[in-house]
Amino acid sequence: MVRFEAVGLRYEAARASPRDSRGGEAPEALRGVTFALPEGSFTWLTGASGAGKSSVLRLMHAALRPTRGEVELLGLRTSRAGRRDLAALRSRIGVVFQDFRLLPYLTAFDNVALPLRLAGRTEASLRADVGEILRWVGLAAKMQSLPPELSGGEQQRVAIARAVVSRPALLVADEPTGNLDQRQARRLLALLDEMNRLGTTVVVATHDEELVARFPAPRLVLHEGRLYDPDGARDLDGTRSQPPREDEEAGEDRPGDYNG
Ligand SMILES: Nc1ncnc2c1ncn2[C@@H]1O[C@H](COP(=O)(O)OP(=O)(O)O)[C@@H](O)[C@H]1O
Ligand SMILES: [Mg+2]
């Protein structure tokens, strides 16, 4: 489902053009990260600020590709995939950000409908799905509200609805409770938990230990760009390192919202 093998990520290298002599000078944000997540799993991703959580998630929703090693998502190795395959892959992965990233001038309904409209679904066919998912997150009465008229918890539930309305196989959330109070955070986690019970593979980055304790699940712990693994068995750093890939699209690989 999700497989990282000896993954390294160097931001400058990912951004610079292949001929840019400055490329590759910054330290790696991720170093030798190896793990595999089974289909249908729920996994916490924890670690201090700067440890690399967001970087792992960017690789996990194919906003970035590794500068060394392999990332395989839903059967596709992102470092070898072409533009079209990557776009198709991204459409099967839902993303929730700490700062919601809703479009403020669109209603809750239209924010959630956006991925379906972009995918070419007809208005008649998407109406029921959007309504159903907004009811599921408890916002049936707020469908026509604009994001600025909603509380933080409500906005984050719209963001979840938008992330799951296309029924993604994989859902990644980057500190989704960071701007919520404890009650809203627990409600959000209950939704992610239910999504997982329905079969979606879920990965949630957080530094909220209270929340992790409340929803026990396997966890990946990052420390300074490395996966902390008590038995050391997963650390293959150095054994499979690869030269930087040659890829003319590298400059376009930026962290970003999967649906624009
Ligand atoms: N867009 C970026 N450009 C350059 N460096 C970055 C970028 N994003 C993160 N980093 C660096 O990568 C490291 C890991 O950051 P990040 O993945 O955001 O950690 P976390 O989400 O755990 O706080 C940090 O050293 C950070 O400064
Ligand atoms: Mg982060």
Each residue's pLDDT tens digit, 67-110 = 999 999 999 999 999 999 999 999 999 999 999 999 999 999 99
Report pLDDT for 62. Answer: 96
pLDDT of 149 > 50? The answer is: yes
Q: Ligand 1, residue 58: give the atom nearest the CA.
A: 17
pLDDT band for position 111 (cuts 50, 70, 90): very high
Alpha carbons 8 and 94: distance in angstroms, whole number: 23
Q: Ligand 1, residue 27: give the atom nearest the CA.
A: 25
pLDDT of 63 > 90? The answer is: yes
User: How far away, in angstroms, is 109 Cα from ligand 1 center?
Assistant: 33
Report pLDDT for 12. Answer: 81
Q: Give which of 174, 148, 145, 146 is closest to 160, Cα–Cα.
A: 174
Q: Ligand 1, residue 48: give the atom nearest the CA.
A: 22
Q: Give which of 197, 164, 209 is closest to 48, Cα–Cα.
A: 209
Contact 94 CB / ligand 1 (< 6 Å): no
pLDDT of 2 > 90? The answer is: yes
pLDDT of 23 > 80? The answer is: no
Contact 115 CB / ligand 1 (< 6 Å): no
User: How far away, in angstroms, is 111 Cα from ligand 2 center?
Assistant: 24
pLDDT of 252 > 60? The answer is: no
DSSP string, 95-163: EEETT----TTS-HHHHHHHHHHHTT--HHHHHHHHHHHHHHTT-GGGTT--GGGS-HHHHHHHHHHHH
Contact 27 CB / ligand 1 (< 6 Å): no
DSSP string, the chain: -EEEEEEEE-HHHHHS-TT-TTTT-SPPSEEEEEEEE-TT-EEEEE-STTSSHHHHHHHHTTSS--SEEEEEETTEETTT--HHHHHHHHTTEEEEETT----TTS-HHHHHHHHHHHTT--HHHHHHHHHHHHHHTT-GGGTT--GGGS-HHHHHHHHHHHHHTT--SEEEEESTTTTS-HHHHHHHHHHHHHHHHTT-EEEEE---HHHHHHS---EEEEETTEEE-TT-TT--TTTS--PPPP-TTGGG-----TT-
- Among the listed ranges 15-24, 44-53, 110-119, 137-146, which one has the minimum average pLDDT value? 15-24
pLDDT of 45 > 80? The answer is: yes
- Among the listed ranges 19-33, 42-56, 176-190, which one has the minimum average pLDDT value? 19-33
pLDDT band for position 185 (cuts 50, 70, 90): very high
Alpha carbons 89 and 75: distance in angstroms, whole number: 10
Q: For ligand 1, atom 11, name the residue with the nearest CA.
A: 29
Q: For ligand 1, atom 25, name the residue with the nearest CA.
A: 50
Report pLDDT for 14. Answer: 56
pLDDT of 226 > 70? The answer is: yes
Q: For ligand 1, atom 26, name the residue with the nearest CA.
A: 50
Mean pLDDT of the chain: 86
User: How far away, in angstroms, is 61 Cα from ligand 2 center?
Assistant: 14
pLDDT band for position 194 (cuts 50, 70, 90): very high
Return the exposure string of 131-164: e unless at least 16 CB atoms fall within 10 Å of the residue's CB, then b: eebbebbebeebbebbbeebeebbbbbbbbbbbb
Q: Beta partners for 205?
A: 45, 174
Find the mean pLDDT for residues 166-191: 93
pLDDT band for position 26 (cuts 50, 70, 90): confident
pLDDT band for position 248 (cuts 50, 70, 90): very low
Contact 15 CB / ligand 1 (< 6 Å): no
Contact 58 CB / ligand 1 (< 6 Å): no
Report pLDDT for 52. Answer: 97
